[in-house]
Amino acid sequence: MKTKLLVAGLLISLLSACQQSARQSEPQLEQSLAFSSRIESLRDNQPLSTAELVNRLSAAPMVIVGEKHDNADHHRIEQWLISQLAAKRPQGSVLMEMIASDQQDAVNQLQQGLKSSPYIRDERLQQLLQWNNGWPWSLYGAVVTTALKGNAPLLAANLSASEVKQIYQTKQMPAGILSSQQPVLDALSTLIVTMHDGQIDADRLASMLAVQQNRDRFMAQQLLAAPKPALLIAGGYHAARNLGVPLHLRDLDKQARPLVLMLAEQGMKITAGQADYVWYVAVVAR
């Protein structure tokens, strides 16, 4: 009898330890970012709590989150949002710029396999995903893993390398009224030139502008087709209302009105023309 009680006690202890470990692995965002971040509604210039933000986002059929790729806190927020929104209501789908169209089959197979075998080493996970190391796993691993282990499908929101190569060569722009306005094209061109320190000729600029526009168009198409509610995670310029995916959405569907949450760094200025909400965090250490 003592042996049975000892075994039972050991099993209970192990189970409690596993449950505690699972709880500790969840992002504790409110505590870790409480003193270095703030959330604002750009619609009425009012501060929001994390709970208020989740409530507002959870009511929208389409949410776009724009990030600064190298800010680790932005990825912690994204991981937290995926969990919080799914807890608030069933999540229809999660889309990521970091996953290309030719990875979708691998993602589908892995997501299905994780339902029966949820424990897998990071190295093996990246291998099965055919992960693009241009997106550092140290930054994106937790976000991707959280999405993979959720109940909603994880969907590609980027063009494949071969698709990008073809667009780069043809310079074919997507058709559209809002997305092809000259101020939009001029602003995107200026951003591309700035990001390349001004060292870019006209021919290369035209190719890169076409790639940017077609990436935004593909994201918009994927978001429209995705099960709702849908959450898209992408770079800030892709997410911006005045430059990116939201314009392409309206070119495709005049009724499309996604909510845009921009993740930014303190010192940046995000306007109502760019997003509905902004979450400012500390500048990332470089």
Higher-confidence residue of 1 and 245: namely 245
| pLDDT, tens digit, 9 for 90 and up, residues 67-99 | 999 999 999 999 999 999 999 999 999 999 999
Question: How many other CB atoms sit within 10 Å of the CB of residue 39?
Answer: 19
Segment 45-53 shows an average pLDDT of 94
- pLDDT averaged over every residue in the chain: 89
Between CA 82 and CA 28 the distance in angstroms is 13
Q: Quick one: pLDDT at residue 4?
A: 39
Closest of 234, 232, 250, 233 to residue 242, by C-alpha? 250
pLDDT at 108 over 70: yes
- Spell out the domain ranges in the chain: 95-151, 159-267
Q: From the centroid of its chain, how far is CA 22?
A: 23
Residues 41-76 as b/e (b if ≥16 CB within 10 A, e otherwise) read bbeeeeebebeebbebbbebebbbbbbbbebebbbb
- Asked if 82 and 94 count as a contact pair (C-beta separation under 8 A), the reply is yes
What is this structure's pTM?
0.88
Helix, strand, coil shares of the chain, percent, nearest 5, are: 50, 15, 30
* C-alpha to C-alpha distances, 281 to 80, 135, 258, 262, nearest whole angstrom: 15, 21, 23, 11
Segment 232-259 shows an average pLDDT of 97
Q: Quick one: pLDDT at residue 185?
A: 97
Instruction: Count CA within 13 A, CB hemisphere, residue 90.
Output: 6
| pLDDT, tens digit, 9 for 90 and up, residues 176-231 | 999 999 999 999 999 999 988 888 999 999 999 999 999 999 999 999 999 999 99
Place of tokens 């009224």: 177
- Asked if 73 and 281 count as a contact pair (C-beta separation under 8 A), the reply is yes
pLDDT at 10 over 70: no
pLDDT at 2 over 50: no
Supply 253's token pair: 């569907």
- Asked if 71 and 266 count as a contact pair (C-beta separation under 8 A), the reply is no
Q: Quick one: pLDDT at residue 24?
A: 35
249 contacts: CB under 8 Å, gap ≥ 6: 62, 220, 223, 224, 256, 258
pLDDT at 282 over 90: no
Q: Quickly state the pLDDT bin for 34 (edges 50, 70, 90).
A: low
Closest of 81, 99, 101, 100 to residue 91, by C-alpha? 81
Segment 149-165 shows an average pLDDT of 97
Question: How many other CB atoms sit within 10 Å of the CB of residue 92?
Answer: 16
Closest of 86, 76, 89, 63 to residue 28, by C-alpha? 76
pLDDT at 21 over 60: no
Q: Quick one: pLDDT at residue 33?
A: 66
pLDDT at 19 over 60: no
Q: Quickly state the pLDDT bin for 127 (edges 50, 70, 90).
A: very high
Supply 268's token pair: 């940046």
Q: From the centroid of its chain, how far is CA 139?
A: 12
Closest of 128, 123, 82, 136 to residue 105, by C-alpha? 128
pLDDT at 8 over 50: no
Q: Quick one: pLDDT at residue 12?
A: 34
Q: Quickly state the pLDDT bin for 29 (edges 50, 70, 90).
A: low
- Asked if 261 and 57 count as a contact pair (C-beta separation under 8 A), the reply is yes
pLDDT at 275 over 60: yes
